[in-house]
Amino acid sequence: MKDRIINLLAAFETDHIGKSFPLDYCLPLYHSVSDKDLPHIKHVIDYKSTKQFEEDLDCFSKHFQFVNWEEFKDFTSGNFKPKKKIALLTFDDGFGEFYHTIAPILERKGIYACNFVNPAFIDNKDMMFRCKESLLVDAIQKVKTINPEVYRLLSLENTVTNETLQKHILKIKYQEKEILEQLAEKLMVDFKAYSKEHSPYLSTEELKKLTDKGFGISSHSWDHPKYKDLSLKQQMETTDKTFTYLKENNFLYESFAFPFTDFGVKRDFFNELFKNEEIYCSFGCAGVKLDSVKRNFQRIPMEMGESAETILKKEIAYFKLKKLIHKNTIERE
């Protein structure tokens, strides 16, 4: 019902997106862009093709002024007056396509972007648990018979459909990720061999070259847990460990983007985070929304199977709807 209402309201939005956009800043969020089949993310991220991505960029450029990190800081602190509302382009997870596919497009168009990375996966030392889930699902779709042990490990009857089996794998949480290694053994999936052959993540050398080109490399936690499921101590440990890594490598250590979402993260985390005076702000991904923590900015997920224009119109319509019932600001306990 909610989606139907939003779609209806979005249809009445004008094409003057920049003027009707309710905030002075737009923060699009992507993970990857590729024209290739990427088994490690295709079952968890609906990534765009290069053509779709360039069309998105053209849409943003029409309605907003792209800025770099320093300009974003200056703007949000009241020291920079742009010609239009601004857009800061962001990416999460540090996938290899950022170096090989995305950066060349952005350089050609003169657009800055910041990539929030997980140091645990840099140089392909390991792989995020969701990527492992995607590889397992991909393997299940390609085999005719499945080892009965797979069902046992998931506490399922071996009569369930393949679709149900895949859904259960995709629901495995960060705290349960050890089971993925057991499932991989039964499904004959070698995560390390895949990483070695395909290099899904950026290397340290590539990160440094991207920094030299002017792109931002910043913090996305150590290994991508959902912060809502962590204690405050655990939240700060993974955050601080990542900032140490960024400083040691001369990357951008002034910002932090929540892995998954900041939904349910309490105010005490932000109080601890901003005790570090070097951190300027943090980023969530709740779409066009305000936050009771003024230094926490919400980004717009762009990998929804729709064009930037459609997504932006829906976000504008939803913001207006939430504003009517005073629900367009995230409140923290």
Of 23, 76, 28, which is closest to residue 285 (Cα–Cα)? 28
Top CATH class, 2-124+202-330: alpha beta
Of 287, 234, 237, which is closest to residue 262 (Cα–Cα)? 287
Scanning the chain, the segments in alpha helix (DSSP H) are 2-10, 17-20, 50-63, 69-76, 97, 103-109, 129-142, 148-153, 162-170, 178-186, 191-198, 204-212, 232-248, 267-273, 308-324
- In the numeric block, the tokens 């088994």 are attached to 39
Percent residues over pLDDT 90 in the chain? 93
Chain centroid to Cα 325, Å, comes to 28
Q: How far apart are CA 82 and CA 23, in angstroms?
A: 14
pLDDT at 11: 75
DSSP code, position 142: H
CA angle, corner 244, sides to 241 and 250, nearest 5? 145
- Lowest-confidence pick of 20-24, 99-103, 254-258, 318-322: 318-322
Contacts of residue 159, defined as CB under 8 A and 6 or more positions apart, other chains included, come to: none
Q: Is 44 within 8 Å of 298 (Cβ atoms)? A: no
Of 20, 16, 21, 18, which is closest to residue 288 (Cα–Cα)? 21
pLDDT at 9: 65
Percent residues over pLDDT 70 in the chain? 98
- Region 187-200 average pLDDT: 98
Q: How far apart are CA 43 and CA 172, in angstroms?
A: 14
Q: How far apart are CA 122 and CA 128, in angstroms?
A: 11
Q: Is the pLDDT of residue 1 over 90?
A: no
Q: Band of the pLDDT at 54, cuts 50, 70, 90?
A: very high
pLDDT in tens, 136-159: 999 999 998 999 999 999 999 988
Structure tokens at 255: 């910002």
- Lowest-confidence pick of 77-81, 98-102, 218-222, 320-324: 320-324
**In 10 A of CB 180, how many CB atoms?**
22
Amino acid of residue 52: Q
pLDDT at 21: 97
Chain centroid to Cα 190, Å, comes to 25
Output the pTM of the full model. Answer: 0.96
**What is the CB-side half-sphere exposure of residue 155 using CA atoms within 13 A?**
2
The burial of 193, by beta-carbon neighbours within 10 Å (0-12 exposed, 13-18 middle, 19 or more buried), is given as exposed
- Region 183-195 average pLDDT: 98
| Residue of higher predicted confidence among 73 and 13 | 73
Angstrom CA distances, 264 to 25, 35, 284, stand at 24, 35, 11
- Region 233-248 average pLDDT: 98
Q: How far apart are CA 239 and CA 235, in angstroms?
A: 6
pLDDT in tens, 4-50: 877 766 776 778 899 999 999 999 999 999 999 999 999 999 999 99
- In the numeric block, the tokens 């990998």 are attached to 303
pLDDT in tens, 249-297: 999 999 999 999 999 999 999 999 999 999 999 999 999 999 999 999 9
Q: Average pLDDT, whole number, for the chain?
A: 96
- Give kind and range of the element (H or E) at residue 301: strand 300-301
- Lowest-confidence pick of 192-201, 244-253, 323-332: 323-332
pLDDT at 15: 81
pLDDT at 170: 98
Angstrom CA distances, 72 to 30, 112, 217, 282, stand at 18, 11, 15, 13
